[in-house]
Structures are given as C-alpha cells and as structure tokens.
Structure 1
C-alpha cells in the first residue's frame, strides 16, 4: 500500500460567484482541474446555494493538464494553487505549460 501524499491547497480563489467560495477561500473538500483547452476548475458551481464545509480549505484532488510543469501522473505537485479569472472565471492560475 502507498501512503497518501499531501495534496496542494487552494491558497486563494477569486471566483466569487462559485458556491464553494467564502471570502476568497474554497471550501470544497477537493477540486478537479483541467479541460482539453485550458486549466479550468471543474468544481466551479455557480448557484445561489452555498456549499462546502466551513472548516475545510480545498485541496487539488486531480488535474488532467498533463502538460503543466506541476503535473506528474495527473497529480498536482505545486506547493499550492490560486484559482481566478483566465480563459474562464475559474481557472488554475498556477498552471505553467512545459
């Protein structure tokens, strides 16, 4: 069995319209990053209902952007990430292409 690694934290999220965003912190348990054309946060949910858990700060659970310098085996190895406006309202701003 392999020990679980520490997942990178979402250090800041500027997607204020996301239901998991409370004062620029993401309170989803974990987020997924990646799209075929850019590093979009797939956990972004625009809804009047607030979600997540107040005692949690989200981690990056998965990233399908294998072309990112922080990605190894579809896992993010950045020390932490920032989510904000890029191509969409909720993109990984830490993404760096190889």
Structure 2
C-alpha cells in the first residue's frame, strides 16, 4: 500500500486580486504551472471563493526543473505565492 504524502502548504499569498485569496489562500489545492512558476489556480476576480476553513496546499507542480520537484510533486516544506511576471508566481521556485 502506498502512503499519501502530506502536501506542502501555501504559507503566504500576497496576490490580492485572486478570488481564492481572502485572509490567505482558500483553494483546497493549487497547481504551479510552467513559464514563470505561475499559480495555475489563480482566478482574477473580485468574487471570493474557496473554503474558509482550509489552508491551501500544493497539489501539483509542473516545474520539473525545480529543486523541490520530485515526480511532479512539490517537496518544499511550504511555499509563498506573490505577484510576479505572471499574475501569481511561486516565489519558492529554485532551479535544481
């Protein structure tokens, strides 16, 4: 039997125009995409969504060249998301 990994938490997100960010990221899980390590879960809207009681986790990471990426899963202890070259970028990304 395979034991599930505990997914890394989104420690902080400072992208205020995302519908999931209200007093922290309220998406159940986010995906980090290619390009500038953008948050693929970002939704630019004034409407607020997600689940109030959760702290977002990193569900998948498409940046295979990141030092924290093993098998397309993030193994950082936690990540930070902030405005970057895209609307919302993973600031924890580091080349392997």
Match of 1:79 among 64, 77, 89: 77
SS of the equivalent of 1:42 reads coil
Please give the TM-score of this superposition, normalised by the length of structure 1. Answer: 0.94
Runs of 4+ in structure 1 off by over 4 angstroms are none
Structure 1 CA distance, aligned partners of 2:38 and 2:87?
9
Shift, 1:48, TM fit:
2.4
Structure 1 CA distance, aligned partners of 2:79 and 2:43?
18
What does 1:12-31 align with in structure 2 at a 5 Å threshold? Answer: 12-23=12-23, 25-31=24-30
Cα RMSD of the aligned pairs, angstroms, is 0.8
Gaps of 5+ in 1: none
Gaps of 5+ in 2: none
Please give the TM-score of this superposition, normalised by the length of structure 2. Answer: 0.96
